[in-house]
Chains A and B, each alone.
Chain A
């Protein structure tokens, strides 16, 4: 079979089983778009901005575990995609981003819509390629999918000059069956000696703590994590990226940790004597001040990326490997030994944790007047039976979503944890809804974030993605305002959002349903009404309390045990 470059790309996407291609056409990719015409194996989703394409593909990838695929043109197409690529990079999400490039003979001449896409994206990709010859195209695409999805996943950019895709030049097409890269060979199996040491340390613990992150979700190791946690009987906390990997409604779960983690999770981190870090990377929002991080703990750390181990926190027992495989092997080792944890010590440890838990650090009072954001999220959890896919943007609403929507399953919580990208939520929800059209998909957002990728409301209509937008509208960039309240003496410099649009009319202008909710008594009814409209995108504009803050909070430079708690609630 002889194919042109454009046809090779489409055929390669078919071979990779790509369902959706999120893209936006332009001069440098017109040959590829021509090859996409009149075929429907690969469904093209025409976004309204290339940032939306990358976020939608990212949302799809996070929800399904499959790579998200993007096609954009050269120059501004590529630069608009950069924020989405960086978002995926920081959270280790597999994306394959195809960028058009100007023809080979004009590369480097400042041609129209020319940008060095490989150079621009180099620091924010797992790897990138410039395809210099038609013969290299198919093998490069194969490598791109392999690199993006294996080891520690991440985005891969393939920059393709226009003339490489021209219909005039055809070559025999044979998509490689496998990839052999001498320079890339991730370690997947854990070292047996290290795993035995880890078991010894874990079983000797008096005050153990399990801290798991996004790596568990990426490695599909939720079942293994749950099994080993139950087997050991230890308390477990999840990072923002790891929520859902262990069921949040289970008693052993002590909530999220870190800057806005629960009192019990952060106190247990501070007081533990053995920390079992599973697919987590000791991010600064998790650790707080490093020199006071887990001061009394020996640390076991499983990570597929050796560079994540001892990067910020020195660990005692590093295990490089795929979390799922390592946990399986460790479970087998546990089954082979008669030794068990010190049940007396564990009971005392749990008693202490329960005292911390009794402080009810997330407590709030709804009252009759102003809607509390926490209340909206709690009601959303109830109305959706705790089973929705929830995307978010970045800020207070993101933290309220993480604290109050109790995720019992992995891949249900979709947010930009590492890069903290406002504008992520709506396009991500689009990608999720396309993957799971029969599931409830909610985008928890704020009036500032939603305006950063608002244009994708149009894409949601075109491709029938009836997501529910839960806008927690406090007329402020809430998290910025909160920091200004605490650290800048309430000097609210440019954190108000004035001249807001009428979101109800806006939703209607885009062909959707808009609802304004400003009374606590109406919250649940509005949510029920919105989710009953299965085939309509509903934009719920909740007018909420402007002064609400996210508690607990570990302020910069503070340690886990130095949380600022809600002053409205005295600790028991």
Chain B
């Protein structure tokens, strides 16, 4: 099962390596990991997408909680939540593709951020499946470069991961 684990941790040097080191040392998967400081500059918020059985996910959350730098943690997949990922795609914009890429960007609510005679850069936001669908639709031939932010997420409603 795929899980999205959100973590508040001390914004200190080495905190990221404690988390990533835990995953490698114990053989857990990381699909994606994002991290940035929060509105409270002493805290970072990290979002990890991982895959494992229920037993493994339980161990992952326990081991993460055990890290001294981890302040709070929640498994977003256990609640109603919103997940988002941002992607920048550089595509060929020549011949038929010049109109087709623009049309697809519109369908997927993307924005074209950069235009040259031969390329566009398209910004897209959504869950992972939507971004995958866009890449499928535009086709491998058209893609010059892809960069994805990794997943971030937040629980719906008033429930908040804060201290």
Tell whether A pairs with B. yes
8 Å CB contacts to B: which residues of A311-351? 311, 314
Nearest CB of B to A127, in Å: 4
How many residues of A sit at the interface, in one of the four size bands? 20 to 34
Which chain B positions have C-beta within 8 A of A311? Answer: 59, 62
A122→B9 contact, CB < 8 A: no
CA–CA, A314 and B21, complex, Å: 26
A122→B14 contact, CB < 8 A: yes
How many residues of B sit at the interface, in one of the four size bands? 20 to 34
8 Å CB contacts to A: which residues of B1-53? 9-10, 13-14, 17-18, 21, 25
Asked if B127 is an interface residue, CB under 8 A from chain A, the answer is no
CA–CA, A543 and B58, complex, Å: 51
A184 in contact with B59 given A119-B17, A122-B21, A123-B21 (CB within 8 Å): no
Interface centre among B59, B68, B70, B71 (most CB of A within 10 A): B68
Chain B: CB-nearest residue to A118: B14
Nearest CB of B to A316, in Å: 15
Chain B: CB-nearest residue to A311: B59
Q: A183-B71, A307-B66, A310-B58 are in contact. List 12 more A-B contacts (CB 8 A).
A: A119-B17, A122-B14, A122-B18, A126-B68, A128-B14, A132-B13, A181-B68, A184-B68, A307-B59, A307-B65, A309-B62, A311-B59
Which chain B positions have C-beta within 8 A of A223? Answer: none
Binding site for B on A (CB under 8 A): 118-119, 122-123, 126-128, 130, 132, 147, 181-184, 305-307, 309-311, 314
Asked if B63 is an interface residue, CB under 8 A from chain A, the answer is yes
B65→A306 contact, CB < 8 A: yes
Which chain B positions have C-beta within 8 A of A306? Answer: 62, 65-66
Which chain A positions have C-beta within 8 A of B13? Answer: 130, 132
A130→B70 contact, CB < 8 A: no
Chain B: CB-nearest residue to A147: B68
Encode B77-108 as 1/0 by CB contact (under 8 A) with A.
Answer: 00000000000000000000000000000000
Nearest CB of B to A98, in Å: 17
Name the 3 nearest CB pairs between A and B, nearest first: A307-B62, A127-B68, A183-B71
Asked if B75 is an interface residue, CB under 8 A from chain A, the answer is no
Asked if B160 is an interface residue, CB under 8 A from chain A, the answer is no
CA–CA, A127 and B69, complex, Å: 9
Which chain A positions have C-beta within 8 A of B62? Answer: 306-307, 309, 311
B14→A182 contact, CB < 8 A: no
B14→A130 contact, CB < 8 A: yes
Nearest CB of B to A452, in Å: 25
B21→A182 contact, CB < 8 A: no
CA–CA, A328 and B41, complex, Å: 43
Which chain A positions have C-beta within 8 A of B69? Answer: 183
CA–CA, A12 and B63, complex, Å: 31
Nearest CB of A to B70, in Å: 6
